[in-house]
Amino acid sequence: MKEIKFRSWIKDKKEMLYEFTLKQPTVSHCKKNILMQYTGLKDKKGQEVYEGDIIQTSYMKIRGCAYRCVFSAEFGGYLFDPFVIGDKDAPLLGIEEFAQQWEEVKHGDVIGNIYENPKLLSN
């Protein structure tokens, strides 16, 4: 059974909150915080992978690239979006299919997330 967990990025404090009670989110809560769900996956060190995390494998590190964990309504689940570190819009060549990326993530490291480490995404 998949463990259902969330973390929350508190916008005004610029702080990630991992342990909290979520009753019923309100509009006010959604404006102040960003909820991210646990994917059920862990990296090679056992760190939990949440939506918004940035994961890097040894192969991607050599290329100066990483994966960003995103939710896709089209596919009905989490995908790992490859990007060039410092330039998320740079084109990538020879990147594996998403199915292979799920396996890659298990052998990679969570190196940050899009909120606490935004410099990884933009130049």
Q: What is the pLDDT of residues 2-58, one digit of tens each?
A: 678 889 999 999 999 888 776 766 655 667 888 899 998 899 999 999 999 999 998
47 within 8 A of 32, measured Cβ to Cβ: no
Q: What is the pLDDT of residue 56?
A: 93
Question: Domains in the chain and their CATH numbers?
Answer: 6-120 (2.30.30.290)
Residue 122 confidence (pLDDT): 82
Write out pLDDT tens, residues 47-101. Answer: 999 999 999 998 888 889 999 999 888 888 888 888 999 988 888 766 555 556 7
pTM of the model: 0.84
Q: What does 25-87 look like in DSSP terms, one character per residue?
A: --HHHHHHEEEEEEEEEE-TT-PEEETTEEEE-HHHHHTTEEEEEEEETTTTEEEEEEEETTB
